[in-house]
Amino acid sequence: MSRATRVSRVAPWLRVAPAVFLLAWGGNHFTPLLHVYEEVGHYSPAQANLLLGLYVFGLIPGLLVAAAVSDRFGRRPVMVAGLVSGALGSILLALGLESMTLLSVGRLLAGLGVGAAMSVGASWIKELSAPPYDHHASDGAGARRPSLTLTLGFAIGAGVTGSLAQWGPAPAQIPYVVHLVLAVVAALPLWAAPETRGPSVLHPVPGTVHRTGPWWQDLRVPSMGNRRFTRIVLPAAPWVFAASGVAYAIVPAMVAPNLGDWATLYATVLTVLTLGCGAAVQPFVARIDRRTRGRALSLGLALMTVGLLLAVVAGVLRQPVFALAVGVVLGSAYGITVVAGLSHVQAIATPADLAGLTGIFYAVAYSGFLLPTLLAALLPVSPYPVSLGVVTLACLGSLAVVATSLARLRRGGGSGHPRPGLSPSP
């Protein structure tokens, strides 16, 4: 079999997936290093959590601007730029152990890269998971494939980095070097991926139009005013990463006094466990949605509320084994909520603003990742269990809003089910 034949048999979306995976890796592999920066770099918990959340300020503009630019000029050049940004971020982070400035800029660049992956990469995979690029994809593959790719990147990146930090040399440098090398490798398949937007498209996505005028006019996303988006998706979105952030940033800090020299490894295990549970549940969200008659998003928020309540208990008990259960519950809630939310987004968006609405969804979702920074800043006046109690009540309020809105949608003639429907198989 010739090399050309082997390449032609690779599903088009799999040529984009490695870049999305590595950009997600670069966004989350900082998480298990929080203890390293506190112990080796002598940063305070508030400073370490600030660095953790700082990349959101690079991610949100990256999500929105990257989507608009890719709609005009194509998916490939923006994804390549995202990989370059992520690589530069890793270089600065590797050099910046003793410089808050270098670390901050590195995290911002990492955020820009993740923004490209979550808006442009997710949209590109979705477009390549339908005809004429993929005639065999099951319903819902366009939501499940990018979400699962991102989740695995977040989880495996944290796992590899935490292991290198626990047992390898130069824990604040080597993980970034590994990511840099892999990011270069991930860029290679992009050149063989079919372009779906821009002037060089061979098979335009039905419903797309050629746009004229300045590119920044493409920042407008008309479908974000859709009531389904404002009343169902937006109230749920911040909890996607707020819950996971609590699981692998706040919970390890609460039980750290009982971990000794194993704090970094424990944070790594909890991060991988949380995101691993999130990845494991995603292929079954379709079945969950059907069994609950379109209420998967509500179920995800309900499970999230339970997980946050368990986090309050974990903060009181400070037992590392019990705290692992928090990661299981919050990780499962994350997996259900992100896929259900993204499926609603894809049902609302038109082909012309798919990337833009996906970017807005993830931008709002990632605003929740600032929660650990806020809770750490409040430590002098409010211990974690107290703050988490307030957060639990807020999550319960969001659940009430989403559940009520879904019920109104059903009474108004909508099924409540996202379209295209989700499927249990990848």
List, for residues 174-184, the tens digit of each pLDDT value: 999 999 999 99
Is the pLDDT at 209 greater than 60? The verdict is no
Place 399 in a pLDDT band, splitting at 50, 70 and 90.
Answer: very high
Instruction: Mention every residue, 6+ apart, whose C-beta is less than 8 A from residue 93.
Output: 30, 102, 103, 106, 107, 110, 176
Q: Find the mean pLDDT for residues 168-189.
A: 92
Place 286 in a pLDDT band, splitting at 50, 70 and 90.
Answer: confident
Chain centroid, CA 416 distance in Å: 24
**Which of 50-54, 217-221, 346-350, 362-366 shows the lowest mean pLDDT across its residues?**
217-221
**Residue 234, pLDDT score:** 94
From 45, 77, 350, select the one nearest 220 (Cα to Cα): 350
**Residue 416, pLDDT score:** 52
**Residue 418, pLDDT score:** 52
Place 412 in a pLDDT band, splitting at 50, 70 and 90.
Answer: low
**Residue 282, pLDDT score:** 87
**Residue 68, pLDDT score:** 78
Place 1 in a pLDDT band, splitting at 50, 70 and 90.
Answer: very low
pLDDT digits (tens, 9 = 90+) for 322-344: 999 999 999 999 999 998 998 88
Q: Find the mean pLDDT for residues 220-228.
A: 80
Residues 153 and 100: their CA atoms lie apart, in Å, by: 26
Residues 106 and 86: their CA atoms lie apart, in Å, by: 8
pLDDT digits (tens, 9 = 90+) for 141-160: 777 888 889 888 988 988 89
From 218, 396, 414, select the one nearest 305 (Cα to Cα): 396
**Residue 213, pLDDT score:** 57
| pTM reported for the whole predicted model | 0.76
Is the pLDDT at 122 greater than 60? The verdict is yes
DSSP annotation of 355: H
Assigned superfamily of 11-191+224-411: MFS general substrate transporter like domains (1.20.1250.20)
**Residue 114, pLDDT score:** 87
**Residue 212, pLDDT score:** 55
Is the pLDDT at 32 greater than 70? The verdict is yes
Show the tokens assigned to 266.
């424990």
The owner of tokens 């490894």 is: 265
**Residue 146, pLDDT score:** 87
Q: Find the mean pLDDT for residues 50-57.
A: 83
* In contact, 379 and 98? CB cutoff 8 Å: no
**Residue 64, pLDDT score:** 79
Is the pLDDT at 417 greater than 70? The verdict is no
Q: Find the mean pLDDT for residues 115-133.
A: 85
Percentage of the chain exceeding pLDDT 90 = 39
Place 216 in a pLDDT band, splitting at 50, 70 and 90.
Answer: low
Chain centroid, CA 136 distance in Å: 26
Chain centroid, CA 426 distance in Å: 18
Mean per-residue pLDDT of the chain:
84
Q: Find the mean pLDDT for residues 86-96.
A: 94
Is the pLDDT at 195 greater than 60? The verdict is yes
Percentage of the chain exceeding pLDDT 70 = 88
Instruction: Mention every residue, 6+ apart, whose C-beta is less than 8 A from residue 240.
Output: 334, 337, 338, 341, 365, 368
* In contact, 304 and 330? CB cutoff 8 Å: yes
pLDDT digits (tens, 9 = 90+) for 261-281: 788 888 889 988 998 898 899
**Residue 217, pLDDT score:** 59
- Is 107 strand, coil or helix? helix
Q: Which amino acid is at 79?
A: M
Residues 249 and 83: their CA atoms lie apart, in Å, by: 25
DSSP annotation of 6: H
